[in-house]
Amino acid sequence: MGSTITLHNVAKTYPGGQPALRRVSLTVAAGEFLVLLGPSGCGKSTLLRMIAGLETITEGELHLDGTLANDLDPSERDTAMIFQSFALYPNMTAAANIAFPLAVQKQDPALVSQRVESAAHALGIGHLMNRLPGRLSGGERQRVAMGRATVRRPSVFLLDEPLSSLDARLRTRLRLEILSTVRKSGATTIYVTHDQSEAMALGDRVAVLRDGILQQVDTPRILYTLPANAFVASFVGTPRISLIHGTVHAPIDGAMAISLGAQQLSLPMPLSRDHQMLRVMQGSPLLIGLRPEAVRIAEHTRATSFERPLTGIVEHVEFQGHETLLHLTVGGRPADVPDQTVPGPPSRPARGSAADLARRLAQRAAGLSPWQRRPSEPHHPPATAVPTGPRGELVVRAGNGGFPQRGRHLPLLIDVRGLFVFDARGERVSPDPTRIPDL
Protein backbone atom coordinates (compact mmCIF):
# COMPACT_ATOMS: atom_id res chain seq x y z
CA MET A 1 0.00 0.00 0.00
CA GLY A 2 1.20 3.53 -0.76
CA SER A 3 2.30 6.08 1.81
CA THR A 4 0.66 9.42 2.47
CA ILE A 5 3.09 12.25 1.70
CA THR A 6 2.58 15.55 3.49
CA LEU A 7 4.61 18.68 2.91
CA HIS A 8 4.11 21.50 5.36
CA ASN A 9 5.57 24.90 4.40
CA VAL A 10 8.54 23.22 2.76
CA ALA A 11 11.21 25.55 1.38
CA LYS A 12 14.58 25.06 -0.28
CA THR A 13 17.39 27.50 -0.88
CA TYR A 14 20.59 26.13 -2.42
CA PRO A 15 23.80 27.56 -0.95
CA GLY A 16 24.37 31.01 -2.43
CA GLY A 17 21.23 30.78 -4.56
CA GLN A 18 17.72 32.16 -4.79
CA PRO A 19 14.93 30.19 -3.10
CA ALA A 20 14.16 27.22 -5.35
CA LEU A 21 10.95 26.42 -3.43
CA ARG A 22 8.90 28.68 -1.18
CA ARG A 23 6.63 27.37 1.55
CA VAL A 24 5.04 24.54 -0.38
CA SER A 25 2.21 22.76 1.47
CA LEU A 26 0.67 19.71 -0.11
CA THR A 27 -0.78 16.33 0.83
CA VAL A 28 -0.61 13.38 -1.55
CA ALA A 29 -3.04 10.64 -0.51
CA ALA A 30 -1.99 6.99 -0.25
CA GLY A 31 -2.19 5.43 -3.71
CA GLU A 32 -2.74 8.76 -5.47
CA PHE A 33 -1.04 9.64 -8.78
CA LEU A 34 0.00 13.28 -8.49
CA VAL A 35 1.72 15.14 -11.31
CA LEU A 36 4.06 18.06 -10.60
CA LEU A 37 3.82 20.38 -13.57
CA GLY A 38 5.69 23.58 -14.33
CA PRO A 39 8.21 25.24 -16.62
CA SER A 40 11.91 24.49 -16.53
CA GLY A 41 13.61 25.68 -13.33
CA CYS A 42 10.40 26.06 -11.27
CA GLY A 43 11.60 23.58 -8.63
CA LYS A 44 9.92 20.30 -9.63
CA SER A 45 13.03 18.09 -9.39
CA THR A 46 14.10 19.79 -6.19
CA LEU A 47 10.79 18.91 -4.57
CA LEU A 48 10.99 15.31 -5.74
CA ARG A 49 14.57 14.93 -4.59
CA MET A 50 13.68 16.30 -1.15
CA ILE A 51 10.96 13.64 -0.82
CA ALA A 52 13.44 10.95 -1.88
CA GLY A 53 15.96 12.24 0.67
CA LEU A 54 18.53 13.20 -1.98
CA GLU A 55 18.31 16.89 -1.08
CA THR A 56 18.08 18.51 2.34
CA ILE A 57 15.00 20.51 3.32
CA THR A 58 15.89 24.09 4.27
CA GLU A 59 12.62 24.83 6.09
CA GLY A 60 9.32 23.13 6.81
CA GLU A 61 8.33 19.52 7.39
CA LEU A 62 7.98 16.38 5.31
CA HIS A 63 5.84 13.57 6.73
CA LEU A 64 5.63 10.06 5.28
CA ASP A 65 2.60 8.24 6.65
CA GLY A 66 2.43 10.76 9.47
CA THR A 67 6.08 10.34 10.52
CA LEU A 68 8.45 13.29 10.30
CA ALA A 69 10.86 12.30 7.54
CA ASN A 70 13.09 15.39 7.08
CA ASP A 71 16.16 13.59 8.38
CA LEU A 72 15.41 10.02 7.35
CA ASP A 73 18.03 8.32 5.23
CA PRO A 74 16.85 7.70 1.62
CA SER A 75 16.98 3.94 2.27
CA GLU A 76 14.54 4.33 5.18
CA ARG A 77 11.86 6.06 3.08
CA ASP A 78 10.67 3.09 0.98
CA THR A 79 10.69 5.18 -2.19
CA ALA A 80 11.88 4.35 -5.71
CA MET A 81 12.97 7.14 -8.03
CA ILE A 82 13.22 7.01 -11.81
CA PHE A 83 15.03 9.70 -13.77
CA GLN A 84 15.01 10.73 -17.40
CA SER A 85 18.44 9.18 -17.89
CA PHE A 86 18.20 6.12 -15.73
CA ALA A 87 21.48 4.24 -15.77
CA LEU A 88 21.27 0.46 -16.10
CA TYR A 89 24.26 -1.74 -15.33
CA PRO A 90 25.74 -2.25 -18.83
CA ASN A 91 27.27 -5.64 -18.14
CA MET A 92 24.11 -7.16 -16.66
CA THR A 93 21.20 -8.58 -18.66
CA ALA A 94 17.79 -6.90 -18.47
CA ALA A 95 16.68 -9.67 -16.08
CA ALA A 96 19.68 -9.13 -13.80
CA ASN A 97 19.11 -5.37 -13.85
CA ILE A 98 15.49 -5.82 -12.76
CA ALA A 99 16.47 -8.38 -10.12
CA PHE A 100 19.26 -6.21 -8.73
CA PRO A 101 17.38 -4.45 -5.85
CA LEU A 102 16.11 -7.82 -4.58
CA ALA A 103 19.48 -9.51 -5.03
CA VAL A 104 21.06 -6.80 -2.87
CA GLN A 105 18.49 -7.61 -0.18
CA LYS A 106 19.49 -11.30 -0.51
CA GLN A 107 15.91 -12.35 -1.19
CA ASP A 108 14.91 -15.94 -1.90
CA PRO A 109 15.91 -16.71 -5.56
CA ALA A 110 12.49 -18.25 -6.28
CA LEU A 111 10.77 -15.04 -5.14
CA VAL A 112 13.25 -12.95 -7.17
CA SER A 113 12.59 -14.82 -10.40
CA GLN A 114 8.84 -14.74 -9.84
CA ARG A 115 8.92 -10.94 -9.25
CA VAL A 116 11.19 -10.34 -12.25
CA GLU A 117 8.94 -12.39 -14.47
CA SER A 118 5.82 -10.59 -13.32
CA ALA A 119 7.44 -7.12 -13.77
CA ALA A 120 8.70 -8.08 -17.25
CA HIS A 121 5.29 -9.40 -18.21
CA ALA A 122 3.50 -6.25 -16.97
CA LEU A 123 5.87 -4.06 -18.99
CA GLY A 124 5.79 -6.26 -22.11
CA ILE A 125 9.53 -6.97 -22.10
CA GLY A 126 9.55 -10.68 -21.29
CA HIS A 127 11.28 -11.47 -24.59
CA LEU A 128 14.15 -9.06 -23.85
CA MET A 129 15.24 -10.48 -20.52
CA ASN A 130 18.54 -11.97 -21.79
CA ARG A 131 19.70 -8.85 -23.60
CA LEU A 132 22.35 -6.42 -22.36
CA PRO A 133 21.26 -2.75 -22.11
CA GLY A 134 23.52 -1.83 -25.06
CA ARG A 135 21.28 -3.93 -27.31
CA LEU A 136 18.01 -2.31 -26.17
CA SER A 137 16.27 0.76 -27.60
CA GLY A 138 15.69 3.85 -25.41
CA GLY A 139 12.08 2.84 -24.74
CA GLU A 140 13.04 -0.74 -23.87
CA ARG A 141 15.76 0.49 -21.51
CA GLN A 142 13.24 2.77 -19.81
CA ARG A 143 10.91 -0.21 -19.32
CA VAL A 144 13.72 -2.22 -17.76
CA ALA A 145 14.32 0.78 -15.48
CA MET A 146 10.61 0.77 -14.57
CA GLY A 147 10.86 -2.95 -13.85
CA ARG A 148 13.85 -2.38 -11.61
CA ALA A 149 11.95 0.32 -9.69
CA THR A 150 8.73 -1.70 -9.33
CA VAL A 151 10.24 -5.06 -8.42
CA ARG A 152 10.94 -3.96 -4.87
CA ARG A 153 7.28 -2.88 -4.48
CA PRO A 154 8.01 0.45 -2.80
CA SER A 155 5.33 2.57 -1.12
CA VAL A 156 6.22 5.63 -3.17
CA PHE A 157 7.27 6.10 -6.81
CA LEU A 158 9.05 9.32 -7.70
CA LEU A 159 9.33 9.76 -11.46
CA ASP A 160 11.34 12.67 -12.82
CA GLU A 161 10.49 13.23 -16.50
CA PRO A 162 11.01 9.51 -17.16
CA LEU A 163 9.84 9.69 -20.77
CA SER A 164 11.14 13.00 -22.02
CA SER A 165 13.97 11.51 -24.08
CA LEU A 166 11.60 9.27 -26.04
CA ASP A 167 9.67 10.06 -29.23
CA ALA A 168 6.05 11.21 -28.99
CA ARG A 169 4.43 7.89 -29.95
CA LEU A 170 6.48 5.81 -27.57
CA ARG A 171 5.93 8.36 -24.83
CA THR A 172 2.16 8.06 -25.15
CA ARG A 173 2.33 4.27 -25.04
CA LEU A 174 4.78 4.05 -22.18
CA ARG A 175 2.93 6.55 -20.04
CA LEU A 176 -0.12 4.30 -20.13
CA GLU A 177 2.05 1.36 -19.14
CA ILE A 178 3.56 3.34 -16.28
CA LEU A 179 0.10 4.34 -15.13
CA SER A 180 -1.16 0.78 -15.16
CA THR A 181 1.98 -0.57 -13.45
CA VAL A 182 1.85 1.90 -10.56
CA ARG A 183 -1.93 1.59 -10.22
CA LYS A 184 -1.61 -2.17 -9.85
CA SER A 185 1.10 -1.75 -7.24
CA GLY A 186 -1.07 0.62 -5.15
CA ALA A 187 1.97 2.86 -4.53
CA THR A 188 1.70 6.61 -4.16
CA THR A 189 3.22 8.27 -7.22
CA ILE A 190 4.62 11.73 -7.90
CA TYR A 191 5.41 12.27 -11.55
CA VAL A 192 7.34 15.35 -12.70
CA THR A 193 6.81 16.81 -16.14
CA HIS A 194 6.77 20.13 -17.97
CA ASP A 195 4.41 18.68 -20.57
CA GLN A 196 0.88 19.75 -19.75
CA SER A 197 -0.78 17.14 -21.94
CA GLU A 198 1.13 14.39 -20.13
CA ALA A 199 0.10 15.91 -16.80
CA MET A 200 -3.56 16.08 -17.80
CA ALA A 201 -3.52 12.52 -19.15
CA LEU A 202 -1.92 10.95 -16.09
CA GLY A 203 -2.72 12.82 -12.92
CA ASP A 204 -5.47 12.10 -10.43
CA ARG A 205 -4.49 15.63 -9.47
CA VAL A 206 -1.95 18.04 -10.93
CA ALA A 207 0.12 20.46 -8.84
CA VAL A 208 1.26 23.48 -10.85
CA LEU A 209 4.51 25.15 -9.77
CA ARG A 210 5.92 28.46 -10.90
CA ASP A 211 9.15 29.99 -9.61
CA GLY A 212 9.09 27.69 -6.59
CA ILE A 213 5.54 28.68 -5.63
CA LEU A 214 2.64 26.25 -5.75
CA GLN A 215 -0.07 27.84 -7.89
CA GLN A 216 -2.87 25.30 -7.73
CA VAL A 217 -3.44 21.62 -6.96
CA ASP A 218 -6.57 20.17 -8.51
CA THR A 219 -7.95 17.53 -10.82
CA PRO A 220 -7.15 18.08 -14.50
CA ARG A 221 -10.78 19.03 -15.11
CA ILE A 222 -10.82 21.74 -12.44
CA LEU A 223 -7.43 23.08 -13.49
CA TYR A 224 -8.83 23.55 -16.96
CA THR A 225 -12.25 24.91 -16.09
CA LEU A 226 -11.35 26.94 -12.99
CA PRO A 227 -7.67 27.92 -13.23
CA ALA A 228 -6.67 29.89 -10.13
CA ASN A 229 -4.80 32.43 -12.17
CA ALA A 230 -3.75 33.46 -15.67
CA PHE A 231 -0.52 31.47 -15.40
CA VAL A 232 -2.35 28.19 -14.80
CA ALA A 233 -4.92 29.09 -17.46
CA SER A 234 -2.21 29.65 -20.04
CA PHE A 235 -0.09 26.65 -19.01
CA VAL A 236 -2.91 24.13 -19.18
CA GLY A 237 -4.78 23.45 -22.42
CA THR A 238 -3.88 23.19 -26.09
CA PRO A 239 -4.18 25.45 -27.96
CA ARG A 240 -3.30 27.98 -25.32
CA ILE A 241 -5.98 30.26 -23.96
CA SER A 242 -6.04 33.69 -25.67
CA LEU A 243 -5.39 36.48 -23.15
CA ILE A 244 -6.41 39.98 -24.18
CA HIS A 245 -6.29 43.23 -22.19
CA GLY A 246 -9.80 44.33 -21.35
CA THR A 247 -12.01 46.47 -19.13
CA VAL A 248 -15.51 46.31 -17.73
CA HIS A 249 -18.14 48.90 -18.71
CA ALA A 250 -20.86 49.01 -16.10
CA PRO A 251 -23.22 51.94 -16.70
CA ILE A 252 -25.84 52.43 -14.00
CA ASP A 253 -28.63 52.46 -16.53
CA GLY A 254 -27.35 50.25 -19.32
CA ALA A 255 -26.12 46.77 -20.03
CA MET A 256 -22.73 45.76 -18.71
CA ALA A 257 -20.10 44.95 -21.28
CA ILE A 258 -16.53 43.70 -21.50
CA SER A 259 -14.35 45.78 -23.77
CA LEU A 260 -11.59 43.97 -25.67
CA GLY A 261 -10.25 47.19 -27.18
CA ALA A 262 -11.94 47.98 -30.47
CA GLN A 263 -14.89 45.69 -29.81
CA GLN A 264 -17.14 44.92 -26.87
CA LEU A 265 -19.14 41.98 -25.59
CA SER A 266 -22.38 42.87 -23.81
CA LEU A 267 -23.23 40.58 -20.89
CA PRO A 268 -26.62 38.83 -20.94
CA MET A 269 -29.34 40.11 -18.62
CA PRO A 270 -30.20 39.24 -15.95
CA LEU A 271 -26.55 39.18 -14.99
CA SER A 272 -25.23 35.91 -13.62
CA ARG A 273 -23.70 36.08 -10.15
CA ASP A 274 -20.22 35.91 -11.67
CA HIS A 275 -20.98 38.79 -14.01
CA GLN A 276 -22.55 40.87 -11.21
CA MET A 277 -19.24 40.69 -9.39
CA LEU A 278 -17.47 42.16 -12.39
CA ARG A 279 -19.25 45.50 -11.83
CA VAL A 280 -16.76 46.35 -9.10
CA MET A 281 -13.89 45.81 -11.53
CA GLN A 282 -14.99 48.77 -13.65
CA GLY A 283 -12.01 50.93 -14.48
CA SER A 284 -9.47 48.29 -13.47
CA PRO A 285 -7.12 46.77 -16.01
CA LEU A 286 -8.14 43.16 -16.60
CA LEU A 287 -7.06 40.17 -18.62
CA ILE A 288 -9.80 38.49 -20.60
CA GLY A 289 -9.23 34.82 -21.34
CA LEU A 290 -10.95 32.98 -24.16
CA ARG A 291 -10.42 29.32 -24.91
CA PRO A 292 -11.13 28.24 -28.49
CA GLU A 293 -14.25 26.34 -27.45
CA ALA A 294 -15.91 29.59 -26.33
CA VAL A 295 -15.66 30.94 -29.88
CA ARG A 296 -17.35 29.76 -33.05
CA ILE A 297 -17.27 31.08 -36.56
CA ALA A 298 -20.89 31.80 -37.45
CA GLU A 299 -23.14 34.56 -38.77
CA HIS A 300 -24.16 36.98 -36.04
CA THR A 301 -27.83 36.27 -36.73
CA ARG A 302 -27.31 32.72 -35.45
CA ALA A 303 -26.35 33.80 -31.94
CA THR A 304 -27.94 32.01 -29.00
CA SER A 305 -28.93 34.06 -25.96
CA PHE A 306 -25.46 33.55 -24.43
CA GLU A 307 -23.47 34.41 -27.54
CA ARG A 308 -22.22 37.82 -28.52
CA PRO A 309 -20.93 38.91 -31.93
CA LEU A 310 -17.36 39.86 -32.74
CA THR A 311 -15.52 40.28 -36.01
CA GLY A 312 -12.06 38.85 -36.57
CA ILE A 313 -9.56 39.18 -39.38
CA VAL A 314 -7.57 36.07 -40.28
CA GLU A 315 -3.92 36.75 -39.60
CA HIS A 316 -2.41 33.30 -39.68
CA VAL A 317 -3.63 29.78 -40.47
CA GLU A 318 -1.93 27.03 -38.47
CA PHE A 319 -2.38 23.52 -39.82
CA GLN A 320 -1.99 20.95 -37.05
CA GLY A 321 -3.12 17.81 -38.84
CA HIS A 322 -6.00 16.84 -36.58
CA GLU A 323 -7.21 20.45 -36.50
CA THR A 324 -6.55 23.85 -38.03
CA LEU A 325 -6.17 26.93 -35.86
CA LEU A 326 -6.91 30.46 -36.98
CA HIS A 327 -5.09 33.37 -35.39
CA LEU A 328 -7.44 36.34 -35.63
CA THR A 329 -7.08 40.04 -35.04
CA VAL A 330 -10.03 41.45 -33.11
CA GLY A 331 -8.62 44.88 -32.28
CA GLY A 332 -7.41 44.01 -28.80
CA ARG A 333 -4.01 43.98 -27.13
CA PRO A 334 -2.62 40.51 -26.37
CA ALA A 335 -1.68 40.16 -22.72
CA ASP A 336 1.24 38.38 -21.09
CA VAL A 337 0.85 36.39 -17.91
CA PRO A 338 1.68 38.82 -15.06
CA ASP A 339 4.93 38.32 -13.19
CA GLN A 340 4.90 36.03 -10.24
CA THR A 341 3.65 37.55 -7.01
CA VAL A 342 3.94 35.68 -3.73
CA PRO A 343 0.32 34.90 -2.86
CA GLY A 344 -0.87 36.75 0.23
CA PRO A 345 -3.81 35.92 2.48
CA PRO A 346 -7.17 36.26 0.73
CA SER A 347 -8.51 39.81 1.02
CA ARG A 348 -12.00 38.49 1.60
CA PRO A 349 -13.49 35.08 1.03
CA ALA A 350 -15.80 34.92 -1.95
CA ARG A 351 -18.67 33.64 0.08
CA GLY A 352 -21.88 35.39 1.05
CA SER A 353 -25.22 35.37 -0.61
CA ALA A 354 -25.92 36.83 -4.01
CA ALA A 355 -28.45 39.12 -2.31
CA ASP A 356 -25.77 40.44 0.02
CA LEU A 357 -23.49 41.08 -2.92
CA ALA A 358 -26.24 42.80 -4.89
CA ARG A 359 -26.96 45.08 -1.90
CA ARG A 360 -23.30 46.11 -1.66
CA LEU A 361 -23.13 46.71 -5.38
CA ALA A 362 -26.27 48.88 -5.24
CA GLN A 363 -24.77 50.90 -2.38
CA ARG A 364 -21.63 51.43 -4.35
CA ALA A 365 -23.55 52.43 -7.47
CA ALA A 366 -25.67 54.92 -5.49
CA GLY A 367 -22.50 56.55 -4.20
CA LEU A 368 -21.16 57.28 -7.68
CA SER A 369 -21.44 60.86 -8.87
CA PRO A 370 -22.95 61.42 -12.32
CA TRP A 371 -19.59 62.20 -13.89
CA GLN A 372 -18.34 58.83 -12.79
CA ARG A 373 -21.16 57.13 -14.62
CA ARG A 374 -20.39 56.20 -18.14
CA PRO A 375 -22.99 56.68 -20.83
CA SER A 376 -24.07 53.40 -22.28
CA GLU A 377 -22.02 52.51 -25.29
CA PRO A 378 -22.75 50.32 -28.27
CA HIS A 379 -21.96 46.74 -27.34
CA HIS A 380 -20.18 45.90 -30.49
CA PRO A 381 -19.20 47.67 -33.64
CA PRO A 382 -20.94 46.89 -36.90
CA ALA A 383 -19.76 43.66 -38.45
CA THR A 384 -17.98 45.55 -41.19
CA ALA A 385 -15.73 47.49 -38.79
CA VAL A 386 -12.05 46.68 -39.27
CA PRO A 387 -10.44 46.20 -35.88
CA THR A 388 -7.04 47.76 -35.40
CA GLY A 389 -4.24 46.76 -33.05
CA PRO A 390 -1.74 43.93 -32.80
CA ARG A 391 -2.15 40.85 -34.90
CA GLY A 392 -3.67 37.45 -34.23
CA GLU A 393 -4.50 37.84 -30.56
CA LEU A 394 -7.45 35.40 -30.64
CA VAL A 395 -6.94 31.73 -31.54
CA VAL A 396 -9.97 29.75 -32.73
CA ARG A 397 -10.50 26.37 -34.32
CA ALA A 398 -11.48 26.41 -37.97
CA GLY A 399 -14.67 24.48 -38.58
CA ASN A 400 -15.23 22.12 -41.48
CA GLY A 401 -16.04 24.94 -43.90
CA GLY A 402 -12.58 25.15 -45.51
CA PHE A 403 -9.64 27.26 -44.46
CA PRO A 404 -10.16 30.99 -44.82
CA GLN A 405 -7.50 33.09 -46.51
CA ARG A 406 -5.32 35.51 -44.60
CA GLY A 407 -7.01 38.94 -44.37
CA ARG A 408 -10.53 37.59 -44.56
CA HIS A 409 -13.14 39.07 -42.16
CA LEU A 410 -14.93 36.39 -40.17
CA PRO A 411 -18.11 36.70 -38.12
CA LEU A 412 -17.56 35.19 -34.68
CA LEU A 413 -19.89 34.30 -31.85
CA ILE A 414 -18.48 34.34 -28.32
CA ASP A 415 -20.23 32.32 -25.63
CA VAL A 416 -19.86 34.73 -22.72
CA ARG A 417 -20.34 31.89 -20.23
CA GLY A 418 -16.89 30.75 -21.35
CA LEU A 419 -15.18 34.09 -20.60
CA PHE A 420 -12.37 34.08 -18.06
CA VAL A 421 -11.53 37.34 -16.34
CA PHE A 422 -8.30 37.84 -14.39
CA ASP A 423 -7.24 40.93 -12.44
CA ALA A 424 -3.98 42.80 -13.06
CA ARG A 425 -2.11 40.36 -10.76
CA GLY A 426 -3.45 37.53 -12.87
CA GLU A 427 -5.86 36.13 -10.27
CA ARG A 428 -9.16 34.77 -11.48
CA VAL A 429 -12.12 37.05 -10.82
CA SER A 430 -14.61 35.28 -13.09
CA PRO A 431 -16.00 32.69 -13.06
CA ASP A 432 -16.37 31.88 -9.39
CA PRO A 433 -13.75 34.21 -7.91
CA THR A 434 -11.60 32.87 -5.12
CA ARG A 435 -11.56 36.35 -3.57
CA ILE A 436 -13.71 39.39 -4.06
CA PRO A 437 -12.25 42.86 -4.08
CA ASP A 438 -13.19 45.49 -1.51
CA LEU A 439 -16.21 47.48 -2.59
Ligand X SMILES: Nc1ncnc2c1ncn2[C@@H]1O[C@H](COP(=O)(O)OP(=O)(O)OP(=O)(O)O)[C@@H](O)[C@H]1O
User: Residue 149 has what DSSP assignment?
Assistant: H
Spell out, one character per residue from 173 to 212, where the chain touches ligand X: x when CB under 6 A holds, - when not: ---------------------x------------------
Q: Is residue 38 within the footprint of ligand X (CB under 6 A)?
A: yes
Least distance in Å: CB of 375 to ligand X?
Answer: 50
Least distance in Å: CB of 196 to ligand X?
Answer: 13
Taking the C-alpha atoms of 380, 385, 386 and 387 in order, what is their torsion angle to the nearest 10 degrees?
-20
Q: Is residue 41 within the footprint of ligand X (CB under 6 A)?
A: yes
Buried b (16+ CB within 10 A) or exposed e, 150-174: bbbebbbbbbbbbbeebeeebbeeb
- Binding residue count for ligand X, defined by CB under 6 A: 12
Q: Which of 157, 141, 139, 140 is CA-nearest to residue 149?
A: 157
Q: Is residue 263 within the footprint of ligand X (CB under 6 A)?
A: no
Task: Decide whether 195 or 415 has the Cβ nearer to ligand X.
Answer: 195
Least distance in Å: CB of 330 to ligand X?
Answer: 34
Instruction: Select the residue interacting with ligand X from 5, 7, 11, 20 (CB under 6 A).
Output: 20
Burial of 257 (0-12, 13-18, 19+ CB in 10 A): buried
Least distance in Å: CB of 157 to ligand X?
Answer: 17
Query: Is the link from the previous residue into 239 a cis peptide, with omega within 30 of 0?
Result: yes
Helices (H), 67-167: 94-104, 109-122, 138-150
Residue 94 φ then ψ, to 5°: -55, -45
Span of 35-43, 177-185, 315-323, 395-403 interacting with ligand X by CB under 6 A: 35-43
- Check residue 325 and give left, alpha or beta (phi > 0: left; psi -120 to 50: alpha): beta
Instruction: Select the residue interacting with ligand X from 6, 33, 35, 43 (CB under 6 A).
Output: 43
Task: Decide whether 30 or 337 has the Cβ nearer to ligand X.
Answer: 337
Span of 36-44, 59-67, 142-150, 309-317 interacting with ligand X by CB under 6 A: 36-44
Catalog residues that contact ligand X under the rule CB under 6 A: 14, 17, 20, 38, 40-46, 194
